[in-house]
Chain A
Amino acid sequence: AQSVTQPDIHITVSEGASLELRCNYSYGATPYLFWYVQSPGQGLQLLLKYFSGDTLVQGIKGFEAEFKRSQSSFNLRKPSVHWSDAAEYFCAVGGGSQGNLIFGKGTKLSVKP
């Protein structure tokens, strides 16, 4: 069965520090992979997606993610975190027979001044 694991429930980083949020997936075929961000009280916004091709994908707000098939991972990175990046981040996998997205449980990011 398809599944997504985000091992870190909550991460705190200092402003200006680098960030890596982990995501591991379980999927039988080539997955479609997504990262979404949810600011407090808001809906989800797509940060980036991977379907095929270059395994390093660039997204909005300076985020990038790298697809590693051998590790079944799709980790999200940002070289320098801003206070406005404080939010909850969700990794998702798609591609099922009915086109549904499966979400991880999310990682909440706090940013220290």
Chain B
Amino acid sequence: NAGVTQTPKFQVLKTGQSMTLQCAQDMNHEYMSWYRQDPGMGLRLIHYSVGAGITDQGEVPNGYNVSRSTTEDFPLRLLSAAPSQTSVYFCASSYAGSNTEAFFGQGTRLTVV
């Protein structure tokens, strides 16, 4: 069972570079979300989607873009990386939002130098 798959696991970027973090789920979940995890801050919601073609901002959306063209995929784009975006990024999916279990990927550790 694949569940939620994130790629890459590790990435180093230079300031100003762009990249896309990939997230795919094979559970036919409607709800997908991206979080960032920083020491002492817990997990903070970046963007989320309640279904294909529908996205919205979370708590810390600045500097990130998302799209949801299919139910399975929910990529996160960094348009111009900044050192403040050094973090661990988690993608999650659930059947119907916060009243059901969220399944998390293994995370992407991103360093911006």
Contact = CB atoms under 8 A, between A and B. Distances in A.
Nearest to B56: A98
B105 A32 contact: no
Chain A binding surface, main DSSP class: loop
A54 to B, nearest CB: 17
B33 A100 contact: yes
B42 interface: yes
A105 B42 contact: yes
Contacts, number: 65
Interface stretch (A39-47, A70-78, A79-87): A39-47
A89 to B, nearest CB: 11
Interface of B: 4, 31, 33, 35, 40-45, 48, 50, 56, 58, 90, 92, 94, 96-99, 101-102, 104-107
